[in-house]
């Protein structure tokens, strides 16, 4: 059905504008009349391009945090939900978010609850957001729920930014080092090959130089073919291999890697505790909260342990015991969860645990990055030293023999 953009007046004389979905213009007029609106103008809205542009796309967490904060402020100020969404739609410049808000507003105008309207956009609104909003609708604390979602989203974006920022310099070193070594092998090393031709024939060329020249020749002659083969093989492997089936094994390896494994576990447990604590604090039932929070870990091994713990909770057991039995959670975290259960204060304890583990993870991340940077510099220096020594050895040998 087409969308119609309308301009109308309420019984109080207040002008309103918006978009609604109807089969015909007469149906659109009937919808406006049923809402007590007097239509001034109604036209077919050309939203097909915007909807196509927003289909399947995501919205950044910072934009969503701003949207949640503004919506909460409008609701606290007494502005009705539909008018609040209409205001946010008009002032939003991001095409995808603008279209999503418009569709959510239309669904709410047709009588759909806000949580269900947001559920129709799973690439934009997460299960966590939908569950908290649904709890806010049922408990009549929508404004507080939206404020907590905004705070949580901003916190997660800050944490993500710290991780990305910490890995930016090591990634830069890898790219620059690879380019430098590649240029040396392709353009610099071949210029020395004629100088070493006689020593190669007599078998006096050092093994390091022979290896370097062979590597340079292979890269010069077959570098393009090798690059195409690697890219094609990567694309074929990505499409043919069932990565979802292999991800569990990869996540196991990630947890067992020295240094990185502890950091991965800390970040995953911290996300789980924060999401679970936020959901419980907003009145979402424990079992539903566990189902949502287990996917927030980003690791299938941890998610499986939480899923089994959820099954145990269903049968009447406490949460801390099955988590301890899984062997995937630190003992101090288990102790704090057990204390929170006994004191009936689990949601606050979980958020406190998340704060503590995130601080620990930040320290661990800083340490890994600080160790990674000199290690990569040493590797790069070692590779360049090997190239220089391999080129200088024949010259030194020939000069000493003279």
Q: What is the pLDDT along the chain (402 residues), one digit of tens a residue?
A: 556 777 887 777 777 777 777 766 677 778 777 877 777 777 766 544 444 444 557 788 888 989 999 999 998 888 888 899 989 988 888 888 888 898 888 888 888 888 888 888 888 888 778 877 877 777 677 888 788 788 888 877 887 787 777 778 888 888 888 888 888 888 888 887 787 777 777 777 888 888 888 888 888 888 788 888 888 887 776 666 566 667 788 888 888 888 778 888 888 888 888 888 888 887 778 888 888 788 778 788 888 888 888 888 887 778 888 888 888 888 888 998 888 888 888 888 988 988 888 888 878 777 777 787 788 888 888 888 888 888 888 877 766 655
**CB neighbour list of residue 219: distance below 8 Å, 6 or more residues apart:** 182, 185, 186, 226
In a domain, 362, yes or no: yes
Mark whether 35 and 175 lie in a shared domain: no
**Residue 317 is part of which domain span?**
155-402
In a domain, 73, yes or no: no
Residues facing 43 on adjacent strands: 5
Reference 323, options 342, 340, 339, 304; nearest CA is 304
Contact in structure between 323 and 302 (CB atoms under 8 Å) = no
In a domain, 356, yes or no: yes
Assigned token pair, 116: 């269900």
In a domain, 116, yes or no: no
Mark whether 24 and 167 lie in a shared domain: no
CATH assignment of the domain containing 191: 1.20.81.30
Order of strands, edge to edge, in the sheet holding 38-45? 15-21, 3-9, 38-45
Instruction: For residue 17, report the phi and psi dihedrals to the nearest 5 degrees.
Output: -130, 160
Rg (alpha carbons) of the chain, rounded to whole number: 30
Number of domains in the chain: 2
Mark whether 243 and 391 lie in a shared domain: yes
State pTM to two decimals: 0.62
């Amino acid at each position: 059905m087409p969308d119609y953009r309308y301009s109308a007046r309420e019984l109080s004389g207040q002008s309103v504008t918006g978009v609604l979905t109807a089969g015909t213009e007469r149906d659109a007029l009937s919808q406006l009349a049923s809402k007590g609106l007097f239509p001034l103008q109604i036209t077919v809205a050309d939203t097909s391009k915007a909807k196509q542009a927003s289909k399947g796309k995501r919205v950044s967490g910072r934009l969503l945090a701003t949207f949640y904060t503004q919506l909460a402020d409008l609701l606290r100020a007494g502005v009705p939900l539909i008018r609040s969404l209409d205001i946010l739609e008009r002032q939003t410049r991001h095409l995808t978010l603008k279209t999503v808000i418009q569709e959510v507003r239309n669904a709410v105008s047709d009588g759909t609850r806000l949580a269900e309207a947001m559920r129709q956009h799973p690439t934009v609104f997460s299960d966590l957001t939908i569950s908290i909003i649904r709890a806010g609708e049922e408990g009549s604390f929508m404004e507080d729920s939206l404020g907590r979602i905004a705070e949580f989203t901003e916190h997660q974006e800050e944490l993500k930014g710290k991780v990305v920022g910490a890995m930016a310099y090591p990634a830069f070193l890898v790219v620059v080092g690879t380019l430098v070594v590649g240029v040396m092998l392709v353009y610099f090393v071949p210029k020395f090959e004629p100088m070493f031709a006689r020593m190669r024939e007599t078998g006096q060329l050092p093994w390091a130089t022979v290896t370097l020249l062979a590597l340079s020749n292979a890269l010069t002659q077959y570098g393009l073919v090798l690059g195409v083969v690697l890219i094609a093989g990567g694309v074929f492997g990505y499409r043919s291999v069932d990565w979802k089936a292999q991800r569990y094994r990869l996540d196991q390896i990630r947890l067992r890697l020295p240094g990185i494994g502890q950091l991965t576990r800390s970040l995953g447990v911290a996300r789980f505790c924060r999401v679970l604590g936020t959901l419980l604090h907003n009145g979402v039932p424990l079992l539903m909260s566990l189902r949502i929070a287990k996917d927030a870990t980003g690791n299938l091994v941890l998610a499986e342990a939480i899923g089994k713990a959820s099954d145990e909770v269903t049968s009447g057991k406490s949460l801390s015991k099955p988590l301890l039995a899984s062997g995937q959670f630190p003992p101090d975290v288990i102790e704090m969860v057990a204390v929170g259960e006994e004191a009936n204060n689990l949601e606050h304890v979980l958020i406190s645990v998340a704060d503590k583990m995130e601080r620990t993870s930040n320290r661990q991340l800083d340490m890994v990055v600080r160790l990674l940077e000199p290690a990569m510099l040493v590797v790069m220096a070692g590779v360049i030293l090997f190239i220089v020594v391999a080129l200088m050895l024949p010259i030194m040998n020939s000069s000493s023999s003279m």
